[in-house]
Amino acid sequence: MHLNIAILEGDGIGPEVVAQSIKCLRSVEETFGHSFTFKKGLIGASAIKKTGNPLPKETLDLCKKTDATLFGALGLPEFDDNPKAKVWPEQGLLRLRKELGLFANIRPVKVFPSLVKQSPLPKANVQNTDLVIFRELSGGIYYGDKSISEDQSSATDTCTYTEAEISRITHLAFKSARSRKKKVTLVDKANVLETSRLWRRVVRSISESYPDVELDCLFIDNAAVQMILNPSQFDVILTDNMFGDILSDQGSVIAGSIGLLPSASVGLEHAMFEPIHGSYPDAKGKNIANPVASILSMAMLLQHFKMNEESDAVVAAVLKSFSKKIVTPDILGSSKYGTNYVGDFIADNIMELDGAFTMNDENIGLGKSTII
């Protein structure tokens, strides 16, 4: 198979972690006989500095023409700390998601047995955690009308959802649950928000078409507590844009490092794959950033195109790096290995599986249950 892949390195450590994913894709090429063509585009702070636009037209056109997009990270403190800025990096990512029609963000959260000690939470709480968050990506408060008064003393962000927006991601979540543990948990704030009440009505109605899948509903505050106390109770979490953003970052604490968690953003025609972590500008150029989340996002890309064996081979190489303690300092504080060495090790160990390795040992959840 041949794929054309847009590479959006972004800001901070983005270029460093994406470079490791490209190494691994080159290894997949060599091992499995595929070919990948990469073309880079600007986005975020780097794009603002060069063009004044966080999403140049050339980048958007590139992403629309290629088969998939591999994304790095976004943001810099000089924009985060300037509330008066008229343009900021995140505008580019939000517009890209909208323009590509990416409505579902899929974020697996898995505590690897070999890394369970790295979680700050008690082992008994987290050791069987294997869940996936389906976050609605194209609606809600992030995309609603925004205004600020002339005297800058009050501001408004509007949260809007339609039945159609809720319905399409709900069906994806229930289909995923059917091939997992057959449970969907809707997270909302239906005791306060009208949009959440709409979510609950639509999801409950759709759930009747999936009688084999259990539906549970939790308010966001309770869900946040339950994810810490007993994350293994969850299978598929379904939620809106903002709540999904918050819960998936919380999931990184359960796993032990935000540098471990991948994600896929999918629509009807396009797909983008990115680690959930930010740009970590303090680590830029220091060769300490964890590349695993980016590499596992790349594995999700392979799975999206039905390259299941290839995806499993990438995950197996990642798991081997864990077992050999070839990890970055965020995983093991005494580690002497940097971003490039970890990336090289994983790339060098991508090989055809002979059946000795099974995903049941440390299943990351990158199988058919995750990507629809």
User: Catalytic residue positions?
Assistant: 142, 189, 221, 245, 249
> Exposed e or buried b for every residue in 1-14, given b needs 16+ CB within 10 A?
eebebbbbbbbbbb
State the DSSP string of 132-162: EEEEE-SSSTTTS-EEE-TTSS-EEE-----
What Rg do the C-alpha atoms of the chain give, in angstroms? 20
Residue 371, SS3 per DSSP: coil
CA angle, corner 125, sides to 231 and 230, nearest 5?
35
Residue among 280, 296, 277 nearest 288 (CA)? 280
DSSP 329-347: TTTSTT----HHHHHHHHH
Question: Scanning the structure block, which residue is given the tokens 């998939």?
Answer: 68
What's the Cα-to-Cα distance from 308 to each of 7, 199, 367, rounded to whole Å?
A: 22, 33, 8
CA angle 293, 54, 285 (to 5 degrees): 45
Phi, psi of 64 (to 5 degrees): -75, -25
Report which of 265, 280, 274, 229 is spatially closest to residue 250, judged by C-alpha positions.
229
